[in-house]
Amino acid sequence: MKISDISDSIDSLLDYGHKLLSLALREGAEQAEVYGMMGRSVDIDLRRDVVELASESFHRGLGLRAVVKGAVGFSSTSDMSLLPFVAKSAVVSARARGGDESWRSLPLPEKVVHPVGIFDSRLQQIGPEECLDIAKSMLSGCRTVKEAEPVAGGVASICGTGFVINSLGIELQETSTLMHASIETIAKAADVATGSEFFNSRGYQPSLEDVGRAAAEMARSSLGGVKAESGTFDVLIKPLAVAELLEYTLLPALAADNVQKGRSALAKRVGEKISAECLMLADDGLISGGLDSSAFDGEGVPSQRTVLIEEGILRGYVYDSYTAGKVGLRSTGNAVRSGYSDVPRVGNRNIIVSSPDARDLLEETKGYLVGGLIGAHTANPISGDFSVEAKNAFLIAPGEEARPIRSLMLAGNFFELLKDIEIGRDVRAIGAIVTPTIKVRMKVVGS
């Protein structure tokens, strides 16, 4: 498909969106909103050192929310001949739900700010052949490490346009791109160890040799693991593991819907100290090149920066229009969607972990270094308790070479760990979570 064809197609989809909006109002909706998406993706799947699948796909569709007496009905389609049925279905669903006294309104139009660095025309035009060459460069990087070999991986390039229109006058549209790659490796000697690495960017990267090499070196460096001592130790948790813990403990507790439903340990604690003073945590939908940066959220509310924790003090939560309306506040621009067939929900944009006291933690720490986690999804998002297995863990001490650990379990309560947390300088974007290494003191079990 030519670039001009894509442009024509999104204009056509927008026309269908306006038609669907009108049909919903005609069916009896008091307010209505249409979310539309159109995109193209190129995917290369790797199995060991060969290409298992190369594909190019296109998608488009519309999702409709219809409001009747505060109740919201939803319907979606990728077939534009079904718009009358979609409109009727959403309105009927709203009526069937009955009124909702907590509902206030769909958002009104506001001025938006367009973030930079979220679109690259080279990714809009890239084809399977070029993505294949990039995947081969990742394999080439892996082969430079003799003891390691690739197990699986892939490269994907995505270009998409999304829009939100509603009956109150919102009409917003944005095009963005994303390039993603990952690789898993294995190294063999007297024992076996694994490693992995990934790459995410809104911009084009012609070669990913460094990604393949890093994954292979991680696997090689994890060979020869020694037994870990059990007890309470200082533990450096690297960015990937930090992001996993945040996703399943702290971030759910900062979502307004969980707070309002009594599923957050941080409910009614705004203004209280909940962590060490060094911690700053913000949600920012506008950072340059952020993976979840956009001029607006899934409802058309302008994106913004929201400070959640500052100097250890809980400053607030993230809201969509519904949860904000329940408590007389304005949405923080945190309505997120996974696609046109998904209703908006409270979620995070780009999470930024930082500290004015950030320093090099590796130089001063005696204890353990943890690269990743297995089982972070089993953490309790309400209590903050977790028990996980460390992945690519090392025994460290100042001035000494890191030694790989054969097996290490970590257990604790993340909300308690926050009270004595220390923040590093090695910032990395793990998806939409931008974080450095953190240092905590916690219980470990070695074997």
Residues 397-435: tens digit of each pLDDT: 998 999 999 999 999 999 999 999 999 999 999 999 999
- 369-391 mean pLDDT: 94
pLDDT at 47: 94
- Of 2-11, 110-119, 334-343, the poorest mean pLDDT is in 2-11
Above 50 in pLDDT, residue 3? no
**339 plus 242 within the same structural domain:** yes
pLDDT at 4: 44
**253 plus 343 within the same structural domain:** yes
pTM over 0.85: yes
**184 plus 274 within the same structural domain:** no
The parent domain of residue 337 ranges over: 225-447
Q: How confident is the model at residue 321 (pLDDT cuts 50, 70, 90)?
A: very high
**33 plus 58 within the same structural domain:** yes
**330 plus 210 within the same structural domain:** no
**287 plus 176 within the same structural domain:** no
Instruction: Please report, rounded to a whole number, the percentage of residues in the chain having pLDDT higher than 90.
Output: 94
Scored b (16 or more CB within 10 A) or e, 279-304 reads bbbbbbbbbeebbbbbbbbbbbbbbb
**85 plus 179 within the same structural domain:** yes
Above 80 in pLDDT, residue 1? no
The total domain count for the chain is: 2
**415 plus 317 within the same structural domain:** yes
The residue from 187, 217, 247 where one domain ends is 217
Q: How confident is the model at residue 65 (pLDDT cuts 50, 70, 90)?
A: very high
Q: What is the pLDDT of residues 270-307, one digit of tens each?
A: 999 999 999 999 999 999 999 999 999 999 999 999 99
**40 plus 66 within the same structural domain:** yes
The residue from 171, 194, 217 where one domain ends is 217
**17 plus 41 within the same structural domain:** yes
Cβ neighbourhood burial of 401 (10 Å; 0-12, 13-18, 19+): exposed
The residue from 183, 217, 251 where one domain ends is 217
Q: How confident is the model at residue 7 (pLDDT cuts 50, 70, 90)?
A: low
Residue 133 belongs to domain with CATH number: 3.30.2290.10
